[in-house]
Amino acid sequence: MKTVEELVSEWTEEEREKLRDLIEESREREKKLQEISKRNSENLTQLDESLNTFLSSLQEIKETTEKMADDVFGIYMRLYHHPVPSS
């Protein structure tokens, strides 16, 4: 995609003068689009990092939960094999 400067460089001086306001507005818009694009890229990078951290945390929670379930099951099995004294 051509930039405003690349496009305008192909025009005659007369065309540039005639469309000066449009050229200036286009330059400003192009600059804003570049800034927005840069911010979007930074935001996507940050979002990707956040998602990776989140997924890593979920994996840790899953592993901890599985270990706790195994521990509880082990406790249950030990208690199950011992008769409970009657009151």
Query: How do residues 31-42 score in pLDDT, each as one tens digit?
Result: 999 999 999 999
> Does the pTM exceed 0.85?
no
Residues of the chain predicted below pLDDT 70: 84-85, 87
Enumerate residues 6+ apart whose C-beta is below 8 A from 11. Answer: 19
Alpha helices in 9-19 (DSSP H): 13-18
pLDDT at 80: 82
